Structure formats: structure tokens, C-alpha cells
Amino acid sequence: MSFIPEDKVSDILNTADIVDIVSEAVLLKKAGKNHIGLCPFHSEKTPSFTVSPDKQMFYCFGCGAGGNVFSFLMKHEGVTFPEAARILARRYGIDIPTNTMSAAQKKKITERERILSVNRLAMAYFQDTLDRAASGQRGRDYFKKRGIANEIVKSFKLGVVPGGWDNLFNYLSKKGVPHHLAEKSGLVVDNQRGGFYDRFRDRVIFPIFDTGSQVIGFGGRVLDATLPKYLNSPETPVYNKSRSLYGLNLAKQKCREAGSAFIVEGYMDLLSLWQHGIKNVVATLGTALSSGHVRILKGYAPKVMLVYDSDEAGLRAARRSIEVFDEGYVDARILVLPSGHDPDSYLLEFGSEAFLHLAKGALGAIDFLIESSLKEHGLSIEGKVRVISDMQVHLAAINDNVARSLYIKSLAEKIGVDDTAILDKVREAVADNHVRKSRKGSMPAVSAGEDHHPERGLTKTVETRFGKIERQIIAMMLQFPKMLPNVMENNLLDFFADDDLRFIGRLIIDHQTPPLRSVSDLVSKVDNPEMAKLIASLAIGDDVWGYDGCLNLIDQFMARNRVNENTLLQKIKAAEANNDHGLVVQLLKEKQLQVQKKINKKIESVGGESL
């Protein structure tokens, strides 16, 4: 955090709006003073992710993730604090000087930015070659042949790279890009003989962007019969194919407007849909759809439709996707195009209206598998047995018991078998799943509604007998700062049993002058992510605070401490009356420790060293 000047951190916090930033990744709905949505950090069915515009904080009551706008970007984008600060600074036009940083700090902060800069240079080279160079003619001819309008080429910043082993390498070298950085960007490959060669050669190029429209990687398609037909960037510090979706930077708003998203398998399929006016579409990048993809997509569309060009591909996808979509609580459907067609050819022959009409009849993953199994095996006795055998594992993979029961009933009606017989088979599969998981040492997942204390992991848990009232005191300080003078006057923090809560309380008091803009400012003062979560959990509530109620809370807290002291004195007197000298000695030591602890807290509160 020291890499970024404190005044610049304050400028960013004063300018950035956490609702704007979070809503780019999470579909938020207004709920009173706050906004709620499905958490992007864990799978859930009911929204427990809360964003407070007043406090400029977020907190998930399901998994415990929480913090300010920096915390959100760091966790969601997988970046460091300086990187998150720079992302926000660029967005809001805030200049962050680098002259105060050491060479090592600059190198650490700017590696990601340098790779992004190299990617921008490469994209400009690919685009310029397509636009003007004689060597780009084959690329221009290819896109023209495929019917891709120039407007689409410009929107997606498409390009081309000519044949040859070192065209891009030479270009980047002339631009002063170090060879090791070009290699780390995934654009060139070490030939093991002291040189480098271009990864992409004689291909049309599809730049891959993150949701902030920064180019993070590239895909290339051959212009001849060379294999592989498609080639993607390797994973780099800025590109992770399991967390990236082609076209999402341009499609995200269209997905929100439509409430759904089409998922296709290739760049050209996506461009074809876009060309025909269907813009709520993304493409996977040479990898199976993952839970990471689903988690990203559900922030933009609660419904998705996977588009495939054959029954076999649809079946494979449906089998893989049931658990992925079920865990992400996303409504997924499978659209298999008529035989012999991919999205591009179907749209060219029948148009967008026919495509959308076909999409309306798409089946959910389970229904698709049932229909496919019935089609394959038929309704003979042997066929019904095979259908049940096909489906028992897929039905067992459904976590929602109600949904599973409804699918079992539907299958039973379709094949004319008693649903209890199917249920028995499914239970066998469920039991087998549990056995496999236990062998792997898996721990049962904690549901969003369970009290699993996400803030654990600090120096001391908030599990003390009196932890609840101490949490209420800190929540009051965060949400109703008018009571801070009363807290200080009664030295409440001196009596706290929980070290972490006392630390937060002192942080609040230390930063009351000058006053903090919001609790978000307070989070920027701590380096411990767990501490940030704890602050968020205490600040995000919608407690109704009144002056009289706060005074009652303070009185309860003070009374509790008096009871503690009186109880210990009574125990000492009782032990003396019973001539239990061993217990008297033990209790006196306890009393001495209690007094010493109070003295130490007093000394620490004025900046001295405890005894």
C-alpha cells in the first residue's frame, strides 16, 4: 500500500463509486439504502452480496468477502493493491507519480502494465497490417469472404499477421520491447538457440479483452490448411483462459438488457451472430466452460444458452455443464443447430429471426439429456433401463432436492416407470458421490445461510463470551459516530476482551480528526484482508441507531465489566471462607493479571510500552 501516495489513495476513494465498479461484474438491484446481488466470489442461489453506496463498502453475508473498492478489484481481478489503485486512477483521470518509488517497486508494480502495453503494441501492429499493408491482403480477403463487415472488424479490433518467423518480434524490438517481456506476454517463443520466433504466423488475429477493454491475449486462425486451425495465447500474468470470455467487453451491457447470453465455441461464430444483430453473445477460448466462466457471466445474465453444431457436441457439453451451472445457480439451456449447420451457416441461410425462434425451443441441460437418451435407446424395456442408467448420475449431480425430485417425476412420466424406482437409482449415485468425495478428503461445503464465521483467521476470534456486545459497540462506532465522545469518555476500549475489535476501535478514534469520508477510508488504513472483512461486516448493517439506545448499550457493557470484577472478588472471599488456600492463590493471580492487563491497556492507549 505504501507504493501509492496516501493523498492519491484518498483522491481515488473520494472520486470512485463502488456501486459503479461492482455493477460492472455483478447484477445489482436496489434494496433500501443498499444494493444486493449474487456474490461473484462463491456460488449462491439467494443474493447475500451487499453494496453500500453510503459507506462505499461491500460485504457478502454468505462467504464473508468484504471491503472497499480496492478490496473488490483486488479479489475480483486478482491484482495487487497498487495495481487496483492504478486501474481506478486511470478510470477517473487521477495521476499517480512514480518518482517516489524505488526501482524494485516500479518493476513490481509495472510488470502487469508492461505486458498490457506490449499487447497494445502487438494489436496495433496486427490492425495496421490488416488495414494498410500489402501483406495484409489475405486477411482482408478472408474477412470479406466470410461476410464480416468493416464495422465489425473495427469494433473487435481484428488484425492479421503475415507469414514469416519474426515479423512481430522485429517490430517489438524496434519499439524497444525487451525480448524477455515479449516472451512473457506470450507473443514470441524461445527457439532454444539464443533467439525467438513469432507465436502467431500467417493468421487472422482476434484480440482478447478483459471486461475493462484491456487487451490481455490473442487468438489466431490460419489462412491455409495448416494445423492447428486455431491458436490462442498461453496463460500469462494478465490472461487466464478459464476466467476470460471472448467478446464480453462489448456484450456485457447487451446481456444485461436481454437478461440472457448465448455462448458459442469460436470467434467466427460470435462475429456472425453480432453481424446479424444478436449481440448478447460470448465465446469460450479453446477450453470447456468452467465454474469461473459461469461466475463471471451470472453478473450480467441469469440465463445462458450454449450453442452447438451437432448432437454429439451438445451431449458432451450438457454432461459437463450440469454441475457447473447447478453450482452457479444459472439457468442454462442447450441449443443444437440442425445437422450440417454451425451458427455462421445457419444465420446466412435462415437469418436471425429463425435463429431466435429456434432458441426459444432450447431445452435445459437435464431435459436435453433425457430427450437425447430416449432418442438413442427408445422405450423398449431394455431401452428404459438404459435411459435410467444414463440419467442416474446426472440427476444425482443436482444439488437442489426440489429440482431433482421434479426431474425424476418428469422422467418417470416420460418412460412410464414408477418414480420411486428411479429415486432408488439416483440415491445410489448420490451415495457413490459422497464416498468418492470422502476418499478425496473433501470437506462438506458450507451453505450461504450457515453461520460459519468468515472473519475467523485474525489474531483472536470473536468467540469470547462477551464478543457480541463488543461487536455491537464497534458497529455503533462505525455506523453512528456521534457516540465516539461517549466511547472515549468511558474508556470502553480498555475493557475489550477481543484484541482485533479493540484495534478497530482505536483505528476509528485515531482517524476521527480529520473525519473520514466513509468507512471505506478506514479499510484503506489496514493491510490485513481479514481485518478489512471484519470492518465491512460490522459497517454494512442497516441497524437503526438512536442516542438513547446507544447509551443503554454502553451502560450494558460497563455493567458487564463491573459484574466480572465483582464475581472474581466474591470467588476470592468464598475461597478464603472455606480455607481453600490453593484456590485463593489462583484467584489472586487471576485478579493481579486482570489489573495488570487494565494498566497495560491504559499505557498503550497513550503510546507507551506495556509492562
Convert the pLDDT of each residue in 408-430 to its tens digit. Answer: 999 999 999 999 999 999 998 88
Cβ pair 259, 297 in contact under 8 A: no
pLDDT > 70 in the chain, percent: 84
Same domain, 82 and 177: no
More confident residue, 76 or 291: 76
pLDDT (0 to 100) of residue 450 = 38
Cβ pair 74, 84 in contact under 8 A: yes
Average pLDDT, the chain: 84
Task: Assess if residue 268 is contained within a domain.
Answer: no
pLDDT surpassing 60 at residue 602 = no
pLDDT (0 to 100) of residue 595 = 58
Cβ pair 259, 239 in contact under 8 A: no
How far, CA to CA in Å, does 340 sit from each of 310, 311, 349, 356? Answer: 8, 11, 12, 18
Give how many domains the chain has, as a whole number: 4
Residue 439: pLDDT band by 50, 70, 90 thresholds?
Answer: low
243 beta partners? none
Q: What cell does 144 get?
A: 470479406
Work out the average pLDDT over 496-505: 87
Top mean pLDDT of 108-122, 403-417, 425-439, 495-509 is at 403-417
Chain segment 462-481, per-residue pLDDT in tens: 344 457 889 899 999 888 88
Task: Assess if residue 233 is contained within a domain.
Answer: yes
The residue among 42, 69, 92 that closes a domain is: 92
The residue among 218, 239, 260 that closes a domain is: 239
Going by DSSP bridges, is the β-strand pair 66-67/57-60 parallel, antiparallel, or unpaired? antiparallel
**∠ CA(282), CA(287), CA(290), 5° rounding?**
75
Work out the average pLDDT over 184-189: 96
Phi/psi of residue 382, each to 5°? Answer: -65, -40
Work out the average pLDDT over 25-45: 89
Same domain, 114 and 88: no
Out of 9-18, 400-409, 554-563, pick the least confident.
554-563
pLDDT (0 to 100) of residue 514 = 53
Q: What cell does 608 get?
A: 507507551
pLDDT (0 to 100) of residue 95 = 85
Work out the average pLDDT over 267-296: 90
pLDDT (0 to 100) of residue 451 = 39
Same domain, 180 and 58: no
Residue 185 to residue 183: CA distance in whole angstroms? 5
pLDDT (0 to 100) of residue 340 = 85
Work out the average pLDDT over 477-487: 88
Work out the average pLDDT over 568-577: 69
Same domain, 473 and 424: no
Work out the average pLDDT over 70-97: 86
The residue among 92, 124, 140 that closes a domain is: 92
Helix (H) or strand (E) segment spanning residue 196: strand 196-198
Same domain, 474 and 595: yes
Task: Assess if residue 498 is contained within a domain.
Answer: yes
pLDDT surpassing 60 at residue 142 = yes
Residue 1: pLDDT band by 50, 70, 90 thresholds?
Answer: very low
Same domain, 69 and 177: no
Q: Domain holding 192: CATH number?
A: 3.90.980.10
Same domain, 148 and 227: yes
Same domain, 62 and 146: no
Work out the average pLDDT over 85-91: 88
pLDDT (0 to 100) of residue 456 = 38
* Distant-in-sequence, close-in-space partners of 519: CB < 8 Å, separation ≥ 6: 55, 56, 57, 68, 478, 535, 536, 539
Out of 32-46, 138-152, 565-579, pick the least confident.
565-579
Chain segment 308-357, per-residue pLDDT in tens: 887 677 677 767 776 677 665 678 898 989 888 889 899 999 999 999 99
pLDDT (0 to 100) of residue 452 = 39
Task: Assess if residue 259 is contained within a domain.
Answer: no
Q: Domain holding 400: CATH number?
A: 1.20.50
Out of 31-40, 207-216, 554-563, pick the least confident.
554-563
Phi/psi of residue 151, each to 5°? Answer: -60, -40
- Three-class secondary structure assignment of 254-320: HHHHHCEEEEECCHHHHHHHHHCCCCCEEECCCCCCCHHHHHHHCCCCCEEEEEECCHHHHHHHHHH
pLDDT (0 to 100) of residue 608 = 54
Q: Domain holding 51: CATH number?
A: 3.90.580.10
pLDDT surpassing 90 at residue 165 = yes
Task: Assess if residue 248 is contained within a domain.
Answer: no
pLDDT surpassing 60 at residue 566 = no
Residue 455: pLDDT band by 50, 70, 90 thresholds?
Answer: very low
Going by DSSP bridges, is the β-strand pair 303-308/260-264 parallel, antiparallel, or unpaired? parallel
Chain segment 339-353, per-residue pLDDT in tens: 888 898 999 999 999
Residue 512 to residue 478: CA distance in whole angstroms? 11
How far, CA to CA in Å, does 208 sit from each of 78, 177, 275? Answer: 18, 21, 18
pLDDT surpassing 50 at residue 562 = yes
pLDDT (0 to 100) of residue 454 = 40
pLDDT surpassing 60 at residue 547 = yes
Same domain, 403 and 509: no
Task: Assess if residue 523 is contained within a domain.
Answer: yes
What one-character DSSP code corresponds to residue 30? E
What one-character DSSP code corresponds to residue 518? S
Task: Assess if residue 64 is contained within a domain.
Answer: yes
Residue 138 to residue 391: CA distance in whole angstroms? 49
Same domain, 125 and 84: no
pLDDT (0 to 100) of residue 449 = 36
Work out the average pLDDT over 176-204: 95
Could you tell me the residue range of the domain that residue 15 belongs to?
A: 6-92
How far, CA to CA in Å, does 547 sit from each of 251, 492, 528, 550, 551? Answer: 49, 17, 32, 5, 6
Same domain, 552 and 473: yes
pLDDT (0 to 100) of residue 446 = 35
Helices 267-275, 343-350: inter-axial angle, 10-degree rounding = 20
pLDDT (0 to 100) of residue 429 = 87
pLDDT (0 to 100) of residue 103 = 67
Task: Assess if residue 158 is contained within a domain.
Answer: yes
Same domain, 392 and 478: no
Q: How many other CB atoms are there within 10 angstroms of residue 256's CB atom?
A: 17
